[in-house]
Chains A and B, each alone.
Chain A
């Protein structure tokens, strides 16, 4: 994508952030069972954003992660609750890398247009960041598969129409589509700090007709692993958007809040604190830019994992720290529900933990680096 196109996309996201959404909408949707706005999701589809990284054959724009990151960062700056990364990057990415063309055409086209929300149900235990942890079973019968198991921490589950479920079969990993409300599928929602939800999906002999199987074996494992790393990178872009906005808020506050007859931003203790947060944000920015460029060149799996882990480690730590210290910089007002700093902290906490926190990613990075030597 040319830099002009990137600039146009950025302008379009910025315009939406200024006019198509506001924090009042975010507050109103907090804790609601549907979690986000269908009309806004459709609007995002109309603008083409849901298909940024989806191949053109399925109605997408066929661009890369660098462009998806522009959308994710812009939406995160205004805390939009729509499950862009969970659905249009993670779930759609896993499906797009699968090999059932009819299924891809049907679901991805609907997703790109904003008609459908797809969620990926892969994880089962807290702290798992690799696809190898999947234990749910897929057992064959003449017409397809029966799924059994419990899927947890499903992001975007609250408003999803279709789940892409990962399970183990005798032929290896399987990715299969299951409709919301299908027989043998029970959804329970866990409230998250930021007013959204993780879903727990109980699968009890849930039936998957053969034509709803997206991929099997090595193809499924590769599709899932790749989508997880890519979504980890885009979640990092979201964290970058959150940390950048909340740092601006803190610095602006320091310029206007007066105590002892002077703006508190004139006090060196606060200035140096703000500079340290700025350095963290700049490190995140540099790593994000470099990582997206490298990931878009489609490196081998081990390298891709190392890049994603390095990026998420920095962005999770920096994002949570900058948002946490924003509360301190704002003082008591920062601790009120009425003030927005808390919303940014809560989103940073959720994004920081989702798809692996900094400590987990540092561990994976170390394991990869040390086996390489």
Chain B
């Protein structure tokens, strides 16, 4: 079992995390302007696992680090600071905590160790062609048939399903019940007969997400997590850190550094027009950092995050997008030539960060959905 890191002084813990990351994280994988593939990051996963650090949020009895809120924030901050890419770690961030809360003893002892080791890699099966922002409209069905569920339907926008071994699914188990009421949460082995995975090429040219088809797929009943028809509650019980992490200023800050390198090599800091635009967006980012710091302090005090944290995702993602737009524009003709360009020794890719920032306002609840949430729960406007 891991040591109890929570007894360390914050600075000592930070120092230990930083030293470990700096000495062990593959330098060629820092700050990639795209999602990282599992085959690229598997070595880092193994390094973290061997060190007992793959699951900072899990309790120590399950091989996690058992970090409290304050230490968890430090851990994530150090990963971000160094530009460590997130592996397909939904098993760690989502499935683990869900099983810890709702799983049976058998589910925990089977899935948790294998998820930590990376033997099982999870994909998220939530969205469907007719259930994106309106997730509760999902239609993929699971019908009880003896000791099994028979699953039929289609999931889409499933990131890296082609490298995953398992998928956690939201399925409809009661067609009569109102929307959220008839949904259940299942764990499915992607090797099960009847499953077809088809990668979808995105506008950046990457096969990051997939369609997953289920044709009479027979899933054991003991893979149901939580109660039948209670899957919506299970899926919603996620940690606040996920919502905080998505609003971190680190990724856009990295894009800003690229813009600064470019501007310097082109002498644009003598151009008042450029400086005005650059400064406005730099301040948007600096002010995001202040807002983020306020939420981090809230989490460190052990206070739960409210619906207002949605504003962080909106501002982080929209600022990031505007920044990458300015990067492409500043590149002029070079900005639309694919691949990395050399500017006075600095390597700058214009289009990759531009593409990378696009889905940020779509996934994890689109900017429009986040605005609906703020409107309803924070401003308390009528519906």
Taking a contact as CB atoms under 8 Å apart, the answer to whether A263 and B382 are in contact is: yes
Name A224-271 residues within 8 Å CB distance of B.
251, 254-255, 262-263, 265-266, 268, 271
Q: Could you say which of A136-144, A277-285, A345-353 contacts chain B?
A: A277-285
- A362 contacts B by Cβ under 8 Å: yes
Q: Using Cβ atoms and an 8 Å threshold, which residues of chain B touch A255? A: 380-382
Minimum CB distance partner of A364 in chain B: B279
Taking a contact as CB atoms under 8 Å apart, the answer to whether A272 and B371 are in contact is: yes
Closest beta carbon of chain B to A357's beta carbon, Å:
13
Taking a contact as CB atoms under 8 Å apart, the answer to whether B382 and A266 are in contact is: yes
Minimum CB distance partner of B277 in chain A: A362
Taking a contact as CB atoms under 8 Å apart, the answer to whether B379 and A275 are in contact is: yes
Closest beta carbon of chain B to A273's beta carbon, Å:
9
Taking a contact as CB atoms under 8 Å apart, the answer to whether A286 and B372 are in contact is: no
Q: Using Cβ atoms and an 8 Å threshold, which residues of chain B touch A262? A: 382
Taking a contact as CB atoms under 8 Å apart, the answer to whether A362 and B382 are in contact is: no
- B280 contacts A by Cβ under 8 Å: yes
Q: Which of B276, B283, B308, B371 has the most CB of A within 10 A?
A: B283
Candidates B291, B380, B383; contact of A286 at CB < 8 Å: B291
Q: Could you say which of A94-102, A161-169, A365-373 contacts chain B?
A: A365-373
- A56 contacts B by Cβ under 8 Å: no
Closest beta carbon of chain B to A159's beta carbon, Å:
35
Candidates B283, B314, B315, B379; contact of A314 at CB < 8 Å: B283
- B29 contacts A by Cβ under 8 Å: no
Q: Which of B280, B314, B368 has the most CB of A within 10 A?
A: B280
Q: Using Cβ atoms and an 8 Å threshold, which residues of chain A touch B275? A: 363, 366, 370
Taking a contact as CB atoms under 8 Å apart, the answer to whether A290 and B290 are in contact is: yes
Q: Give A266 to B383 CA distance when docked, in angstroms.
A: 5
Taking a contact as CB atoms under 8 Å apart, the answer to whether A278 and B291 are in contact is: no
Q: Using Cβ atoms and an 8 Å threshold, which residues of chain A touch B288? A: 283
Given A266-B382, A271-B371: A362 and B279 interface contact (C-beta under 8 Å): yes
Given A265-B382, A278-B378: A359 and B287 interface contact (C-beta under 8 Å): no
Interface string of B332-355 (1 = CB under 8 A from A): 000000000000000000000000
Q: Which of B275, B290, B293, B371 has the most CB of A within 10 A?
A: B290
Closest beta carbon of chain B to A366's beta carbon, Å:
4
Minimum CB distance partner of A284 in chain B: B287
Name A154-190 residues within 8 Å CB distance of B.
none
Interface string of A329-358 (1 = CB under 8 A from B): 000000000000000000000000000000
Q: Using Cβ atoms and an 8 Å threshold, which residues of chain A touch B372? A: 268, 271
Taking a contact as CB atoms under 8 Å apart, the answer to whether A251 and B379 are in contact is: yes
- B294 contacts A by Cβ under 8 Å: yes
Q: Using Cβ atoms and an 8 Å threshold, which residues of chain A touch B375? A: 268, 271-272, 274-275
Taking a contact as CB atoms under 8 Å apart, the answer to whether A265 and B283 are in contact is: no
Name B352-383 residues within 8 Å CB distance of A.
368, 371-372, 374-375, 378-383
Given A255-B381, A275-B379, A314-B287: A290 and B293 interface contact (C-beta under 8 Å): yes
Q: Using Cβ atoms and an 8 Å threshold, which residues of chain B touch A313? A: 283
Minimum CB distance partner of A365 in chain B: B279
Taking a contact as CB atoms under 8 Å apart, the answer to whether A310 and B276 are in contact is: no
Taking a contact as CB atoms under 8 Å apart, the answer to whether B290 and A254 are in contact is: no
Q: Give A255 to B383 CA distance when docked, in angstroms.
A: 10
Question: DSSP majority for the B interface?
Answer: helix
Candidates B282, B286, B311; contact of A278 at CB < 8 Å: B311
Q: Which of B269, B280, B308, B375 has the most CB of A within 10 A?
A: B375
Taking a contact as CB atoms under 8 Å apart, the answer to whether A272 and B382 are in contact is: no
- A287 contacts B by Cβ under 8 Å: yes
Name A280-308 residues within 8 Å CB distance of B.
282-283, 286-287, 289-290
Q: Using Cβ atoms and an 8 Å threshold, which residues of chain A touch B382? A: 255, 262-263, 265-266
Q: Using Cβ atoms and an 8 Å threshold, which residues of chain B touch A272? A: 368, 371, 375
Taking a contact as CB atoms under 8 Å apart, the answer to whether A282 and B311 are in contact is: yes
- B278 contacts A by Cβ under 8 Å: yes
Q: Using Cβ atoms and an 8 Å threshold, which residues of chain A touch B276? A: 359, 362-363, 366
Q: Give A359 to B280 CA distance when docked, in angstroms.
A: 9
Q: Give A269 to B291 CA distance when docked, in angstroms.
A: 25
Q: Give A229 to B275 CA distance when docked, in angstroms.
A: 22
Candidates B269, B286, B293, B314; contact of A310 at CB < 8 Å: B286
Taking a contact as CB atoms under 8 Å apart, the answer to whether A286 and B290 are in contact is: yes
Taking a contact as CB atoms under 8 Å apart, the answer to whether A366 and B381 are in contact is: no
Closest beta carbon of chain B to A131's beta carbon, Å:
22
Candidates A254, A265, A363, A370; contact of B269 at CB < 8 Å: A370
Closest beta carbon of chain A to B156's beta carbon, Å:
25
Given A282-B311, A289-B294: A274 and B287 interface contact (C-beta under 8 Å): no
Q: Using Cβ atoms and an 8 Å threshold, which residues of chain B touch A266? A: 381-383
Interface string of B249-278 (1 = CB under 8 A from A): 000000000000000000001000001101
Chain B residues with CB under 8 Å of chain A are 269, 275-276, 278-280, 282-283, 286-288, 290-291, 293-294, 308, 311, 314-315, 368, 371-372, 374-375, 378-383
Known: A255-B382, A263-B382, A313-B283. 10 other contacts (CB 8 A): A265-B379, A278-B311, A282-B291, A286-B291, A286-B294, A287-B290, A290-B290, A365-B283, A366-B275, A369-B282
Q: List 6 A-B contacts (CB under 8 A).
A: A271-B375, A283-B290, A290-B294, A310-B286, A359-B276, A362-B280
Chain A residues with CB under 8 Å of chain B are 251, 254-255, 262-263, 265-266, 268, 271-272, 274-276, 278-279, 282-283, 286-287, 289-290, 310, 313-314, 359, 362-363, 365-366, 369-370
Q: Which 3 residue pairs spanning A and B have beta carbons closest together?
A: A271-B375, A265-B381, A366-B279
